[in-house]
Structure 1
Amino acid sequence: MPQDVISSSLLNSFLFYISILGVLLFAGVLLRLKVGIFKKFFIPASLIAGFLGIIIGPYGFKMLSEPMVSTWGSLAGILITIVFAPMLIGMNKETSKEAAKHAVPQVLYSYLGSSLQIGVPLLVTGLILIPIWEVDELFGSIIEIGWAGGHGTAGGMQGVFESLNWAEGTSLSLTSATVGLLFGIIGGMIIINIGVKKGYTSVIKSTSQLQSQQEDIPQEKTASSYNTINEDVVESFGFHLALIFIAVLIGWGLQQLIIPYVAGVPLFPLAMLGGLVVNISLSKTRFYRLIDKQTLNRIQGLALEFLIVGAVASIKIPVVVEYAIPLLIVSLFSLLTILWYFHFIGPKMFKKDWFEHSIVNYGTATGVTAVGLMLLRTVDPNMKTEAASAYAIRAPFYSPFLGGGLITSIVPVLIINYGTTLVGIAFLIISFLILAAAKLLGYFHCDADKKQNYEGQQNISQSKL
């Protein structure tokens, strides 16, 4: 029998492992719905399930075996590829061109946030952590990978870290993602309460108006995807999965071409480029009408939920304990940077509704898109400002590259080739260039924060009268 043929016993074991993963996710959903503190702080069920896996796993009550948990961790690289492959499938070129006109400040602001999130931790690592604690030179990369990239990107980078001889990077990136998520949710709510009191918000004018705007279990069912092809021909989900796998195959081909020249490039951003090839190819045919973007989003969401559960459950606790102090230091520097970015750059970048535009980016930069949108819904429940639409429009111009995209995935390779400090300096220079471009294009106003703060206070005074 060829060595690459997987035996039925291994497949049965894999099915069993996935089934236990499903049990954990179901338990996480129950805890999310029933436990008050999880509801209050909007902790995702998948993250709860992942922590449950840690508790009953090899470093807890040892109810789960090491091979099972390790398999979950390895699965992350596959699932993140499925998440990224359809990202550019179904993208309409005309819509994107029109959208770009209204999203330039959001795009610039997002790029600036990620550039700072790469540059500052790398400099802290190169100048402080490596000389004192002798951490690996890739250590500083875990912030942008874990915070802006989230648990999905952190788990998906396992192969990259292993190929670059730093296996501990996966567990530390996942821990970083968890820390960032907590900063995003808890810190975001603190920022919102302060912002409301100071009159920075455009819609919510008192803290008594702050509340969750979504029900955990909606009263009415809503359609989240549509059949675009007769079921007698093929199941719609099957058709869309086929497109994803074609994109993955194209990405795999690109990876084989690149690896001899640039080692360590992961599959998932290349699969996204494969999706772009699929999109361009189908856009010239009548089969383009068969693509339902919402169905692709459903498949991405399914893969991401299981990815997070397995990736978090596979965190190696001894590694986290060993690097606790350097992790705390780089996290605090990163938090101060992102707070500066929110409070001082946000008012200058956005002429109108700066708080709403900035808070959605703060939530995304520290946690995930869902956290950013949750914070935005808290301060703009009926989407009266343009923050939500501008944020959504900026996605095709930002997500493929940073916050877990192509540039994020190659930063570790750049560090290996050019060194931690030099890459950190380079990204800080990029940050200044972004600010210069924003100023040149008329999107950066040095006195805007004072003006908007004054107008916010005037609005509060008028509302009181």
Structure 2
Amino acid sequence: MFPGGVVESGSLNSLLFYLAVLGLILFTGTWLRLRINFFKKYFIPASLIAGFIGLILGPHILGVFPEEMVATWGSLPGVLITIVFAPMLIGMTLGSSKEASKFALPQLMYSYLGSAFQIGVPLLIAGLIIIPLFEVNELFGTVIEIGWAGGHGTAGGMTEVFTTLGWAGGSSVALTSATIGLLLGIFGGMIIINIGVKKGYTSIIKNQNQLKSAKQEDVSEKSANSYSALNSSVIESFGFHASIISIAILIGWVLQGAIDPLIPGLPLFPMAMIGGLIVNIILAKTKYFKLIDRHTLQRIQGLALEFLIVGAIASISIPIVIEYAVPLIILTLVSILVLMWYFFYFGPRMFEKDWFEHSIVNLGTLTGVIAVGLMLLRTVDPEMKTDAATAYALRAPLFSPFLGGGLITALVPTLVITYNSIIVGIGFLIISIIVLVIASLLGIFKFNRRESNHSI
């Protein structure tokens, strides 16, 4: 199918060819997404469809794509996730701290609580039951938060960390977990929305007909999604923003090298994000800060993320997934139960108004990616009439750098190897209690808010 004479192995031409094939798969996934009603109805991303196409055509099933090609795709997420994270804090400005705290604090507390549960409970279950019973690696309990909240990017980006810490198959398990989480976010989120509408938990959508009409069209009128303050005769806008991202990554490399003696195996992507923060602080003091366009940075992030997801899913090692299938199913089922309890119990008690809308965006993010969370929110609040989107956006700078694929997520495997799953799991459950205590003292979390908020 792919004779060696066409592409010389190990060359840049080989890489270009493999990327071109990956692009063809992504295009095919997009075409199927636009054509097949099932994919439309359940908002299945084109990159997810494309990833499964690559997996089916890969060496473990049909064998159309050679192992070398798929292995190259598998190495892309570790690189592309750095491109996704590096600009995360570039171009950001904080508004009024009083205004931000009013909207962001309940969301921030709720997000930290969810992540603490998503790290702590799987680690405890793994340490107490799964590791002794199935004799899996000590890091097994980390794959839920890394895969679900972290997504395919974080799971792929942790490949080197898992290998360094002695679990080479960890990345494939984490990527499988990420795929499960993404599907749970999409299908499970839509099921929960339908339940919420029927029981009257939603603030905007009040019946099934409204829910159907709230679904967004796949194709709309053309509109600008990035802007440039630079004349193209100076530099192309995407080139300028790519150069800023490059500087952030270089700073991240320096930081990674400096921290490595203290925290060995820390991946590059959280350090690149800190590098982006340093770039942002420096540029904010100059007149050039106004040249930064957040929308352009997001387009670059989006491009990297689309190819990342396709490459990550297509390169999943099916034999490793089969090996860990039973313990992964157990850990997944426990995590689903915890997530449902977290959503229905803490949501109404953390948010005084519009609890369902505030909670559903977090549920989508905790299982998949930000896009899934926003998609679920747009489904129940199509015109963004509630404060959920504003609060969610304001809490991002105080949450995303640390959890859901951030610095703390990257540190958890090292902590588990240093101590063990049980100790680290208990530690994160203690953190969840501390979050609840703080939220109670601030008047955010209230046990008796149930009846007034139409919760179960």
Shorter chain as normaliser: what TM range?
Answer: over 0.9
1:15-69 deviation line (CA, Å, top 9, x unaligned): 1111111011001101111112111111110011010001000011111111111
Q: 1:451 to 1:186 in 2, by over 3 A?
A: same
1:177 pairs with 2:178 = yes
Deviates more, 1:263-272 or 1:442-451: 442-451
Give the Cα–Cα distance (whole angstroms) in 2 for the partners of residues 131 and 424 of structure 1. Answer: 16
Partner letter of residue 54 of structure 1?
A: L
Give 1:416-435 correspondences, 5 Å limit.
416-435=417-436
1:323-374 deviation line (CA, Å, top 9, x unaligned): 1110000000100001000000000000001011111111111111111111
Residue number in structure 2 paired with 1:373: 374
1:295-324 deviation line (CA, Å, top 9, x unaligned): 000000000000000011000001111111
SS across alignment from 1:221: coil
Residue number in structure 2 paired with 1:214: 216
1:166-206 deviation line (CA, Å, top 9, x unaligned): 11111111111111112111111111111111111111111
Give the Cα–Cα distance (whole angstroms) in 2 for the partners of residues 97 and 17 of structure 1. Answer: 50
Q: Which runs of 4+ in 1 moved over 3 A?
A: 93-98
Residue number in structure 1 paired with 2:300: 299
Residue number in structure 2 paired with 1:86: 87
Partner letter of residue 217 of structure 1?
A: V
Q: Is the 8 A contact 1:122 1:420 kept in 2?
A: yes
Give 1:56-455 correspondences, 5 Å limit.
56-94=57-95, 98-211=99-212, 212-218=214-220, 220-453=221-454
Q: CA deviation at 1:95?
A: 5.5
Residue number in structure 2 paired with 1:3: none
Q: Is the 8 A contact 1:96 1:393 kept in 2?
A: no
Partner letter of residue 217 of structure 2?
A: E
Give the Cα–Cα distance (whole angstroms) in 2 for the partners of residues 321 and 428 of structure 1. Answer: 30
Q: CA deviation at 1:213?
A: 2.8
Residue number in structure 2 paired with 1:459: none
Gaps of 5+ in 2: 1-7
Q: Is the 8 A contact 2:103 2:387 kept in 1?
A: no
The number of residue pairs the alignment matches comes to 448
Q: CA deviation at 1:394?
A: 1.1
1:12 pairs with 2:42 = no
1:121-146 deviation line (CA, Å, top 9, x unaligned): 00010000011001111001000011
SS across alignment from 2:364: helix
Give the Cα–Cα distance (whole angstroms) in 1 for the partners of residues 102 and 439 of structure 2. Answer: 14
Q: CA deviation at 1:93?
A: 3.6
1:46-101 deviation line (CA, Å, top 9, x unaligned): 01101000100001111111111111111111100000000010011445674233
Residue number in structure 2 paired with 1:53: 54
Give the Cα–Cα distance (whole angstroms) in 1 for the partners of residues 383 and 450 of structure 2. Answer: 25
Residue number in structure 2 paired with 1:4: none
Give the Cα–Cα distance (whole angstroms) in 1 for the partners of residues 454 and 140 of structure 2. Answer: 38
SS across alignment from 1:58: coil
TM-score (norm 2): 0.96
Gaps of 5+ in 1: 1-6, 457-465
Q: CA deviation at 1:8?
A: 9.9
Partner letter of residue 45 of structure 1?
A: A
